[in-house]
Amino acid sequence: MAITLTPSAVDHVRRYLTNTPDALGLRVGVKRTGCSGWGYVTDIARERLDTDTVFEQDGVRILVDAPSLSLIDGTEIDYRREGINWQFAFRNPNAAAECGCGESFTTNPEFA
């Protein structure tokens, strides 16, 4: 089990965490949304839940809630430029399909 960050994502998250004294790390999860079913959610983690799994990479903690983990296990998170915007990009081996706009994904039924 693992969630990993590219060097660009590590640098980006580290900058945010440095400016947020009460931050524990990056929280990553999913929620039901969009045309394909699941959407990624990222935020600054300010508390650790009992059900969280914590990964650490290059000094950056990544916290994932238990319901999300099976849907995003093995995901690599990048931080890259898309047009004029910078954003996280997810390479999720569990995604069976993604919507055309990239906002949501679906998995095989055994992950849902």
In a domain, 41, yes or no: yes
Domain hosting residue 86, numbered range: 4-107
User: What local confidence, expressed as pLDDT, does residue 53 receive?
Assistant: 96
Inside any domain, residue 51:
yes
Q: Half-sphere exposure of 45 toward its Cβ, with a 13 Å CA cutoff?
A: 22
- Kindly give the pairing relationship between strand 95-98 and strand 85-91: unpaired
CATH of residue 91's domain is 2.60.300.12
On the question of pLDDT at 69 being above 90, the answer is yes
Q: Is residue 42 part of a domain?
A: yes
Which residues, at least 6 apart from 112, have a Cβ–Cβ distance to it below 8 Å? 37, 71
Q: What is the pTM of this model?
A: 0.86
The mean pLDDT value for 58-82 works out to 94
Task: Assess whether pLDDT exceeds 80 at residue 93.
Answer: yes
What pLDDT score does 50 carry?
Answer: 95
Domain-embedded: residue 112: no
Of 8, 3, 74, give the one whose Cα is nearest residue 42.
Answer: 3
Between 33 and 59, name the one with better pLDDT: 59
Whether 61 is in a domain gets the answer yes
* Structural domain includes residue 28: yes
The total number of structural domains in the chain stands at 1
Read off the pLDDT of each residue in 38-67 and give the average, rounded to a whole number.
95
Q: Is the residue at 60 inside a domain? A: yes
